[in-house]
Amino acid sequence: MRVLIALGGNAMTAADGRARPGDQIAAVTVAMEPVADLVAAGYDVVLTHGNGPQVGNLLVKNELAASVVPPVPLDWCGAQTQGTIGFIVIDALERALAARGVRRRVAAVVTRTLVDATDPGFARPTKPIGRYLPRDEAAVLIDHGETWEDRGERGWRRVVASPEPLEVLDAPAAAALLAAGFVVVANGGGGIPVVREPDGAVRGVEAVIDKDLGAALLGHALGAEALVIATDVDGAVLGFGTPHQRPVGTVDVATLRGYAAEGHFASGSMGPKVEAACRFVERGGKRAVITSLGRIADAVRDHAGTTVLPADITREVAGHA
């Protein structure tokens, strides 16, 4: 069984959110334990990951050095963090596999994701990234071509496009590595956003791709049967923050989309995860699971957290309950 595991940002940082190199290595080391268990049990595993804290750190370095050296573009930040996180994951997973007596090679692929150059997000960027800055500091970065908005008392904040991911261009490379027996890390941060020129060439663009939507797209491209979105909660809930809050367990796509339409899932947190889970199942995946990092193995082997199934399978499960 091939499973794609999407690790959230909490898997890459300390419990208090710190992202120093030592914190990241320690967090990834813990995250790879259940992954190694699955590989040892015979599952064909693909990993993807978030990169928000890491890109955030690079943006701060850009800001502090903007008067000395030109800031690197956002697509470069994505590429750099894919390489760094991939390296850390490879080391940690190889150690965990060796401890279990498993000889499997691990590889990380720096991965590009195609977006539409005419996506509406490019005309009006709305995705806030990075920290707030005073007007004079933001002005330096605006002079370098970045888009910043005045957010009132908190200061100015950079905004970028968050276009719809269309195709994972380097999925064939990941597929070749899987066929050769590798555990593969790919499409970190949703992929490096690129657009296609009229002559067929591609170029990177300043944008952020939602990592969960990118995971669903990669899972479909690689023929994964299951998608596990590992986050910092056990699953989606209805009525979040109210006295009537209740978890969403096993659910079919249509029902889950109905809950989303009713406004149960915040656009900046659970909403994209729910959308990604629905898309994956709608495109032929057998199931998608949203759950906590510690329940990855449970999610793959059985049902854990919020498990999204096709309608016909959901009815079958209910009939045998």
Q: Give strand pairing partners of 156.
A: 133, 150
Name the more confident of 167 and 311: 167
Between helix 211-221 and helix 171-179 the angle, nearest 10°, is: 50
Note the pLDDT of residue 320. 38
* 211 Cβ neighbours under 8 A, 6+ residues apart: 6, 48, 49, 50, 51, 188, 189, 190
- For residues 39 and 13, which has the higher predicted lDDT (pLDDT)? 39
- Categorize the per-residue pLDDT at 75 as very low, low, confident or very high, splitting at 50, 70 and 90: very high
Query: Where in the chain is CATH 3.40.1160.10?
Result: 2-115+164-319
Q: What is the pLDDT of residue 312?
A: 63
Q: Which of 124-128, 142-146, 194-198 has the highest mean pLDDT?
A: 194-198
CA distance 1 to 189: 24
Q: What are phi and psi of 279, to 5 degrees?
A: -60, -40
Residue 317: predicted pLDDT = 43
Output the pLDDT for position 12.
79
Work out the pLDDT band at 176, boundaries 50, 70, 90.
very high
Q: Which two tokens stand for residue 132?
A: 């707030």
Q: Are 88 and 30 in contact (CB under 8 A)?
A: no
| pLDDT exceeds 60 at position 315 | no
pLDDT (tens digit per residue) in 289-306: 999 988 898 899 877 899
User: Which amino acid, residue 56?
Assistant: G
pLDDT of residue 313: 57
pLDDT at 321 exceeding the cut of 90:
no
Which residues are annotated as catalytic?
9-10, 127, 211, 273
Say if CB 307 and CB 314 are below 8 A apart.
no
| pLDDT confidence band for 319 (50 / 70 / 90) | very low
What's the pLDDT tens digit per position in 147-164?
Answer: 999 999 999 999 999 999
pLDDT for residue 2: 96
Residue 241 has pLDDT above 50, yes or no: yes
Query: pLDDT confidence of 83, banded at 50, 70, 90?
Result: very high
- Asked if CATH classification 2.40.50.140 holds for the domain at 2-115+164-319, the reply, yes or no, is no
- Spatial contact of 134 and 63, defined as CB atoms under 8 Å apart: no
pLDDT at 10 (0 to 100): 67
> Does pLDDT of 268 surpass 80?
no
At 19 the pLDDT is 79
List, in sequence order, every residue forming a beta bridge with 49; answer none if it has no partner.
7
Summarize the confidence of residues 194-221 as an average pLDDT: 96
Q: Which residue has better confidence, 240 or 170?
A: 170
Mean pLDDT confidence for 201-228: 96
pLDDT at 189: 94
pLDDT greater than 90 at residue 308: yes
